Structure 1
Amino acid sequence: MSRRSGFTDAVRRMDASWPLPDAAAAFARAGVPVFPCAPNGKQPITRRGFQDATTDLTQVQVWWSRFPAANIGMPTGAASGVVVVDVDVHGVNGYAAFRRARRAGLVNGWEALVRSPTGGLHIYYPAGDGEQTSWQAGRAGIDFRGDRGYIIVPPSRRLIGGDSVLYRPTRFAPPDGRPLDAGRLRDFLDPKPPPRPRWEGPVASSEAMVGRLASWVARRQEGERNAGLFWAACKLAENGMPRDDAFEVLCAAASQAGLAEREITTTVHSAYRAVATTTTTPAASGAERGAGSPFGLARPAVRAEPTRGLS
């Protein structure tokens, strides 16, 4: 179990009546680095932003004597000893995702809850060991503020609808907090797509063969590029390779030969449509069998369609 952070100890002693210069000085005295941000806003005033944050009381007093209405910015992560889960309400309402994460037991251990002026929620945790980089889970409406990030802290204010609204602490946890597993939370909120299954069709039994096919397409010259790509795509289609996999195999090679991506897409799609709609293939003549193919394979008995837009 972690000791309560200096941030939480400092903010527990404050209330809405505290002048911002006094609050900034109190954070500095508690060992929490701060820096000035635009009055009623979030934009840093100093040139390097959160990288200028300091616990030097003299510097903090100089800043806030010059900008007494400046909001208080605090770097998150190792610099301040706290990380923040930021539940947003713009575009995507993050409360639903946060409730799901809470039911899954992924957001326990917080120290303080702060209501943001826009109606969102900042949940503060003690920073754990090692670097925890800031990230966003936009589809869930939740951001994580860790290393190389910052947050605006109470008793700062934002101008919302013409009113100056506080960052308002709403609750402090009775026990000390414990570090958040930010990586696990991110995987829960924004899971990575599963890896595409490896295609195991007949051609895949020889990766070298597929490689030679792509290499052959890459060497096609002007006047034979489309036909060569069409033939190669037909061979993959005939062997059961999914169309998207065929495009992935052939795209770089056809680009190297000088075809544009739109042409490549159209030609591959045309080949797959042709193979799908061809139920019988006339026997190839001896002259046609293997002519121009890299592996002595017969050309498909279908014609390359012009590379117009996809139907």
Structure 2
Amino acid sequence: MAITDRQTATLALAHALSAAERGLPVFPLSATKLPALRSPHHGDVPPVRCRGECGLPGHGVHDATTDPSAVRALFAVAPRATGYGIACGRPPHRLIGIDLDIDTTHGNDSVAALRHLALEHLFTIPATVTVLTPSGGRHLWLTGPPGVTVPNSAGRLAPGIDVRGAGGYLVGPGSVTAHGRYLLATGTAHLAPAPCPSALLHLLRPPPRPHHPTSRNSPARQGQGLVRFVRAAHEGQRNTRLFWAACRAYEHGFGDALADALTDAAVSTGLSAQEARAAIASAARLTTPRRTA
């Protein structure tokens, strides 16, 4: 099925405009769930760390806007867009996305894991906007309070539970991807995103940085463990292990320092250096909050 036809692109824009009207910053996505616009700095040497300051489109989540005219302009230069992303962490909603993946291979039940966390930490999972993903997972939309930054994370709460916070984005309902369509769950379309329970918000906030770099859990020691974890990957695990290890490194503040070692470890398992660097860059984007002026 061709999913880049004019009707799909028109529907994607319509859904994006509807979300923008509700105060949700949006930007166009391709069928791969990645930003539909190529960076204007692609190929620049050294890499330019621009987050939209240049004024040109093509900065992914940093292009996100609630201005209808700006939304139309973004989609006009992204004719292959089949969906839209919703930037998390931005006012007025300060959206937090709880991404519950389905992993039948390893038997991880992320929904049960979230319920267990709720029982353990004495909070109730509120009725809120819920988006069903093509893989059978779901996204729960919650809102955060002013002055609180929730970082992106992958599997830190529990296996199969990813968090989309500041600098991250959720695929909006109505988007079409190579694997199917994102849909609002029955009975949630009329709901507003519910406030994040305070106990869950505490779990979502970043852990304190260690104060003793020479301790057993020092960045250097943790980094060696992550490199060994990547080096031990077998075929079929290489990208997953590398991405997981890079996320952990960036969450603990030494991702850039470990990037070369992780790349070398991934190359030793059979990945190309280009594939390894791309996976590490994705981990950096996912776990690094957007800087504000």
Instruction: Give the one of 113, 116, 127 matched to 1:100.
Output: 116
User: What SS is found at the alignment partner of 1:171?
Assistant: coil
Q: Distance between the aligned counterparts of 2:143 and 2:133, measured in 1?
A: 19
CA contact (8 A) 1:33 1:74 kept: yes
1:179 corresponding residue in structure 2 = 196
Quick check: 1:144 aligned with 2:155?
Answer: no
1:109–1:100 Cα change, 3 Å: same
CA contact (8 A) 2:101 2:138 kept: yes
CA contact (8 A) 2:151 2:204 kept: no
Quick check: 1:126 aligned with 2:118?
Answer: no
2:183 corresponding residue in structure 1 = 167
Query: What is the Cα deviation at residue 186 of structure 1?
Result: 4.5
Equivalences for residues 32-51 of structure 1 within 5 A: 32-38=24-30, 40-46=31-37, 47-51=58-62
CA contact (8 A) 1:156 1:166 kept: yes
Query: What is the Cα deviation at residue 191 of structure 1?
Result: 9.8
CA contact (8 A) 1:76 1:149 kept: yes
Q: Distance between the aligned counterparts of 1:30 and 1:191, measured in 2?
A: 32
- Taking structure 2 as the reference length, the TM-score comes to 0.50
- Taking structure 1 as the reference length, the TM-score comes to 0.48
Query: What is the Cα deviation at residue 183 of structure 1?
Result: 4.4
1:118–1:94 Cα change, 3 Å: same
**Aligned-pair identity (%):** 24
Q: Distance between the aligned counterparts of 1:114 and 1:49, measured in 2?
A: 21
Q: Distance between the aligned counterparts of 2:141 and 2:204, measured in 1?
A: 16
Q: CA RMSD in A?
A: 3.4
Q: How many residues align?
A: 174
User: What SS is found at the alignment partner of 1:170?
Assistant: coil
Equivalent residue letter for 2:133: S
1:109–1:129 Cα change, 3 Å: farther
1:175–1:115 Cα change, 3 Å: closer
For each residue in 1:165-193, what CA deviation from the matched residue of structure 2 results, as whole angstroms up to 9, or x when unmatched? 33333332868722333443359xx999x
Farther-moved stretch of structure 1 (171-180 vs 96-105): 171-180
Query: What is the Cα deviation at residue 48 of structure 1?
Result: 1.1
Q: Distance between the aligned counterparts of 1:37 and 1:75, measured in 2?
A: 12
Query: What is the Cα deviation at residue 80 of structure 1?
Result: 5.7
Larger Rg: 1
2:83 corresponding residue in structure 1 = 71
Q: Distance between the aligned counterparts of 2:176 and 2:19, measured in 1?
A: 16
Q: Distance between the aligned counterparts of 2:191 and 2:67, measured in 1?
A: 30
1:87 corresponding residue in structure 2 = 100
1:186–1:23 Cα change, 3 Å: closer
Q: Distance between the aligned counterparts of 1:175 and 1:37, measured in 2?
A: 23
Question: Which runs of 5 or more residues in structure 1 are unaligned?
Answer: 1-15, 193-244, 253-311
For each residue in 1:189-229, what CA deviation from the matched residue of structure 2 results, as whole angstroms up to 9, or x when unmatched? x999xxxxxxxxxxxxxxxxxxxxxxxxxxxxxxxxxxxxx
User: What SS is found at the alignment partner of 1:148?
Assistant: coil
CA contact (8 A) 1:110 1:124 kept: no
Question: Which runs of 5 or more residues in structure 2 are unaligned?
Answer: 1-7, 38-57, 209-214, 222-293
Q: Distance between the aligned counterparts of 1:106 and 1:75, measured in 2?
A: 26
Query: What is the Cα deviation at residue 142 of structure 1?
Result: 0.4
Query: What is the Cα deviation at residue 87 of structure 1?
Result: 0.6
Tell me which of the two structures has the higher relative contact order, counting C-alpha pairs closer than 8 angstroms and 6 or more residues apart: 2
Query: What is the Cα deviation at residue 79 of structure 1?
Result: 4.1
Q: Distance between the aligned counterparts of 1:175 and 1:154, measured in 2?
A: 14
Instruction: Give the one of 64, 68, 72 matched to 1:61.
Output: 72
User: What SS is found at the alignment partner of 1:114?
Assistant: strand
Q: Distance between the aligned counterparts of 1:133 and 1:191, measured in 2?
A: 10
Query: What is the Cα deviation at residue 34 of structure 1?
Result: 0.4
